[in-house]
Chain A
Amino acid sequence: DTAVSQTPKYLVTQMGNDKSIKCEQNLGHDTMYWYKQDSKKFLKIMFSYNNKELIINETVPNRFSPKSPDKAHLNLHINSLELGDSAVYFCASSQDNGQLTYGYTFGSGTRLTVV
Chain B
Amino acid sequence: ILNVEQSPQSLHVQEGDSTNFTCSFPSSNFYALHWYRWETAKSPEALFVMTLNGDEKKKGRISATLNTKEGYSYLYIKGSQPEDSATYLCAYYNQGGKLIFGQGTELSVKP
Contacts and interface: CB of A to CB of B under 8 A. Distances in A.
Contact of B101 (A43, A56, A98, A102): A43
A109 B43 contact: yes
Contacts, number: 61
Interface in A18-56: 33, 35, 40-45, 48, 55-56
Interface residues of B, number: 24
A107 interface: yes
Nearest to A109: B43
Contact of B43 (A90, A98, A100): A90
A100 B51 contact: yes
Contacts of A104: 34, 36, 44, 46, 99
Given A98-B99, A103-B49, A107-B43, A43 B89 contact: yes
B72 interface: no
Interface of B: 31-32, 34, 36, 42-49, 51, 89, 91, 93, 97-104
Interface of A: 4, 33, 35, 40-45, 48, 55-56, 90, 97-109
